[in-house]
């Protein structure tokens, strides 16, 4: 079977867009699942994080869309609002050449009133979290009587979060004459139970279910007690000197503590967990994504659904409670075929968890090794300053601001080179721009004194 998108029975607009995006060859999960998805079959697919699952189900649902009908034709459920936003963004990219398509995101942390207003104007595809979707269904403002595609993304994470009953309740609101696509990085027993409940005549796809031995190096460092972990953390950072890293902790309190330790050592890091307000979560993830933040310290719940590009290092400050969660954690690095590094601390009380992981990855795996902290070189001058700094412009889509408007104003008003500008993201009310550290203060001062699209906007650091 050829792995070229051009061999598939896709709409002309989708194929032209894929060519323009330079998406020519399919990833293994796309190559194995898309033919069945395009046939209308139910599919249960297991593939590691970062394997191209979103494009696999995204192209399938976009190909079957009837643009004339503006009622909900596809429902995609995700475990977190961050993943829902990422999926919606990727779908819009894949659908760029399909005119008048409406993709609506329904998640917690955002105005229900605004979501209800948007639903009143119709939507072809809904991407949402189970809790908010079910709430709007019960309020009788969201209906699935015209829905023909039901997609569960990162289904194992949703079950870990206790959404089994919500998913089944939502499923019962959708016609049985539908296509159901279930994507998951792991296949625990509950996933099989969920598939039996929701799917029929299912095609099972398993691709890249484990990270290749040469893709992620995994080093384990034993410490006597939990109190020794801060010093161990500084040692590994001093030695490996990553540009960006993600640290996993078992509790919110530990996450906050670790972030404070790093900041005191001049390593710019922030914690992300369930106690943060949505705007705080958005700010932290924006800064980390655009390289204005060196470290992210997270709990498992907070980090679910994060898609971080070019992440060099994952550190397990605390070992997770299961091997499935470990696979998810280290899968944040080595995405899109790149290599990565996972460093792990464990105490004597965590030896059983370590042995479970050792059995999972096989004792002859050269990339799974116990190491000694004493072997690491200790450089006390370690200072990791991020390459970029994020500025916040208090205006967004409602002010009809576009990336080109912001770039034009920054280059024109601040008189800096285009190469000094990094990622740009624009929401309804605010815009975020990454600027190289040396130029950031100049940009903020000049924009506050000048105008963007002939209007004054307040500009500050995020």
pLDDT tens-place string over residues 52-78: 899 999 999 999 999 999 999 999 999
In a domain, 383, yes or no: no
Are both 161 and 242 inside the same structural domain?
Answer: no
- For residue 8 the two structure tokens come to 């598939």
Q: What is the pLDDT of residue 307?
A: 65
Instruction: Write the DSSP symbol of residue 27.
Output: P
Are both 171 and 189 inside the same structural domain?
Answer: yes
Q: What is the pLDDT of residue 206?
A: 87
CATH number at residue 428: 3.30.70.330
Instruction: Write the DSSP symbol of residue 167.
Output: H
Q: What is the pTM of this model?
A: 0.70
Low-confidence ranges of the chain (pLDDT < 50): 212-213
In a domain, 381, yes or no: no
- Closest by CA to 338, choosing from 49, 59, 93, 90, is 49
In a domain, 83, yes or no: yes
Are both 224 and 371 inside the same structural domain?
Answer: yes
Q: What is the pLDDT of residue 3?
A: 84
Are both 197 and 222 inside the same structural domain?
Answer: no
- For residue 167 the two structure tokens come to 């998913």
CB 83 within 8 A of CB 50: no
Q: What is the pLDDT of residue 213?
A: 47
Residue that is written with structure tokens 């696999």 in the block: 56
Burial-class residue 83 by CB neighbours within 10 Å (0-12, 13-18, 19+).
buried
Q: What is the pLDDT of residue 363?
A: 57
Number of domains in the chain: 3
Helical (H) or strand (E) element with 313: strand 313-316
Q: Coil, helix or strand for 271?
A: strand
Taking CA atoms, 229 is separated from 144, 233, 258, in Å, by: 50, 6, 10
Are both 393 and 311 inside the same structural domain?
Answer: no
In a domain, 340, yes or no: yes
Number of H helices, E strands in the chain: 17, 18
Q: DSSP assignment of 171-236, as one string?
A: HTTS-SSSEEEEEES---HHHHHHHHHH-SSPEEEEES-S--TTTEEEEEEE-SSGGGHHHHHHHH
Q: What is the pLDDT of residue 380?
A: 63
- For residue 137 the two structure tokens come to 């269904």
Q: What is the pLDDT of residue 379?
A: 64
Domain endpoint, select from 320, 348, 375: 375
Are both 312 and 198 inside the same structural domain?
Answer: no
CATH number at residue 264: 3.40.50.300
Are both 174 and 244 inside the same structural domain?
Answer: no
CB atoms within 10 A of CB 220: 19
CB 354 within 8 A of CB 346: yes
Backbone angles phi, psi at 366, to 5 degrees: -65, -20
């Amino acid at each position: 079977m050829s792995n070229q998108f051009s061999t598939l029975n896709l709409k002309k607009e989708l194929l032209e867009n894929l060519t323009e995006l330079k998406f020519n060859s399919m990833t293994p999960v796309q190559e194995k699942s898309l033919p069945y998805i395009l046939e209308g079959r139910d599919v249960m697919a297991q593939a590691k994080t970062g394997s191209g699952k979103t494009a696999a189900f995204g192209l399938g649902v976009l190909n079957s869309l009837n643009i004339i009908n503006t009622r909900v034709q596809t429902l995609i459920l995700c475990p977190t609002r961050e993943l829902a936003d990422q999926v919606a963004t990727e779908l819009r990219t894949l659908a760029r050449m399909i005119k008048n398509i409406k993709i609506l995101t329904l998640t917690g942390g955002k105005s229900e009133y605004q979501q209800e207003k948007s639903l009143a104007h119709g939507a072809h595809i809904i991407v949402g979290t189970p809790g908010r979707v079910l709430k709007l269904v019960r309020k009788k403002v969201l209906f699935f009587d015209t829905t023909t595609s039901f997609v569960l993304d990162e289904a194992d994470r949703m079950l870990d979060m206790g959404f089994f009953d919500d998913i089944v309740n939502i499923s019962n609101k959708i016609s049985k004459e539908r296509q159901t696509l279930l994507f998951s990085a792991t296949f625990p027993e509950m996933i099989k139970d969920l598939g039996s409940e929701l799917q029929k005549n299912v095609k099972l796809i398993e691709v890249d279910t484990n990270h290749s031995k040469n893709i992620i190096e995994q080093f384990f460092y034993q410490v006597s007690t939990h109190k020794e972990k801060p010093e161990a953390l500084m040692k590994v950072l001093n030695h490996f000197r990553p540009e960006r890293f993600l640290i996993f902790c078992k509790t919110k309190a530990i996450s906050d503590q670790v972030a404070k330790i790093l900041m005191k050592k001049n390593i710019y890091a922030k914690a992300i967990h369930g106690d943060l307000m949505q705007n705080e979560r958005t700010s932290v993830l924006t800064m980390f994504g655009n390289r204005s933040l060196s470290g992210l310290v997270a709990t498992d719940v907070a980090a679910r659904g994060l898609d971080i590009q070019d992440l060099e290092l994952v550190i397990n400050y605390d070992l997770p409670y299961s091997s499935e969660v470990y696979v998810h954690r280290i899968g944040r690095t080595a995405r899109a075929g790149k290599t990565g590094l996972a460093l792990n601390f464990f105490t004597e009380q965590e030896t059983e968890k370590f042995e479970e992981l050792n059995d999972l990855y096989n004792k002859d795996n050269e990339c799974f090794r116990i190491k000694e902290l004493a072997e690491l070189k200790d450089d006390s001058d370690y200072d990791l300053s991020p390459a970029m700094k994020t500025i916040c412009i208090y205006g967004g889509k409602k002010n009809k601001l576009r990336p080109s408007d912001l770039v034009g104003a920054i280059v024109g008003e601040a008189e800096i080179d285009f190469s000094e500008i990094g990622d740009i993201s624009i929401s309804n009310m605010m815009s975020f721009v990454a600027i190289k550290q040396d130029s950031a203060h100049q940009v903020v001062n000049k924009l506050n004194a000048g105008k963007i699209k002939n209007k004054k906007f307040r500009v500050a650091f995020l």
